[in-house]
Amino acid sequence: MLGSFGLPPWLIAAAHTNGPAVWGLAPDAPGSGLGALGFALRHLIGVARPAGGSGALPAALAACARQHGAQLITGARVAGVQIRDGRVRGVRLADGRSVRAPTVVTATDPRTVLVDWLDGVPAAARLRVRWAAVPAADGYESKLDAVSSALPGLRALERLPVDVLPADTRHVPTVLVSPTPAEQVSAAAARHAGRVSDPPMLLLNVPSVLDPTLRPTPDTHLLSLEVLWTPYQVAGGWDDQSRPWSWLRRLASLGDPGLLAAVRDWRVMTPPDYEREFTMARGYAPSFPGGAVAALLGRQRELSRYRTPVAGLYLTGAGTFPGAGVWGASGRNTAAVILARRPDRLTW
């Protein structure tokens, strides 16, 4: 299917393995072949980005909510869901306050909701036992952001014929830099042993190519590397800055060696950083663990049907179908379920 586009073998391999990799899986993981469908769909639908960056989407949603009379509370950590007589009554905040509501929609890690926030709730006892039996996952991705006065060039792209990749599309917002499938299998195993993959798998993002408003200054671009299979714990810890800098060196070795000198400033976010700054346990970013077939068959129904055994309590976000991405698909699906069923008539 992908071969019909005239792509070289290395790019076909990348298409088949990118999906499992962004889920933290090796390309030989059972059922992960459906990840290749994402590439086929992008040829038909395409992938959009919010003008002004990903943060523009939640900002627009917040403005819409306020316009319709919603009150937004930020900077307050939720500590639990309040339930009485099998029905949700609101949420309890870590500072002791309570927010009353007949309907609660959670977009956090489903395991946190079902294991930590519903302890002692009879209606969800069996569900909690099932989720508690699954070990908490570790983060597996790091991100390096940089301000660069030059666009990164890749020799592999420059060698492609113009009828396959026109010259004006050599710089795009996201490029996948993938090891071979065999190297990816080894990298996935190395992560479980506390080692960073070598060579790394990189998602090279230059969003300012598509959206000039994201350029830090008129003569610089915003560049970021998403680095997969980077474990939560590594030998010697993450304080050694030479490791993330090596990812930039690796990128430069694949194209323009002058890229390193063009980097004006940079920072890195590792799994421990995500845990510390975004309260993501062990740096793990939840994503729907199944595929389209799992959702269709209703495996882990709470993740694809969005309802819980507690009346009025719903799940949404990246941990539910169809998974991660700043696109609002899970939220739209959950809203449709809520609007179609009154809370006092919910069944499980």
Q: Is 100 in a helix, a strand, or coil?
A: strand
237: left (phi over 0), alpha (psi -120 to 50) or beta: left
Q: pLDDT for 296-332, tens place per residue?
A: 888 889 999 999 999 999 999 999 998 887 778 899 9
- Sorted by where each starts, the structural domains of the chain and their CATH numbers stand as 73-136+286-345 (3.50.50), 139-278 (no CATH)
DSSP character string of 272-312: HHHHHHH--GGG------S-HHHHHHTTTHHHHT-B-SSBT
Q: Is the dihedral of CA 279, 336, 24, 146 positive or negative?
A: negative
Query: pLDDT digits over 188-247, tens only?
Result: 888 888 888 888 889 999 999 889 999 999 999 999 999 998 999 998 889 988 999 999
Provide the token pair at 172.
């795009």
Q: What is the pLDDT of residues 114-136, one digit of tens each?
A: 999 987 888 889 999 999 998 88
Q: Three-state SS string across 319-332, please? A: CCCCCCCCCCHHHH
pLDDT value at residue 87? 93
**Which residue reads 């800098």 in tokens?**
245
| Cα distances (angstroms) measured from residue 144 to each of 25, 120, 133, 141 | 21, 41, 34, 10
Q: Are 255 and 175 in contact (CB under 8 A)?
A: no
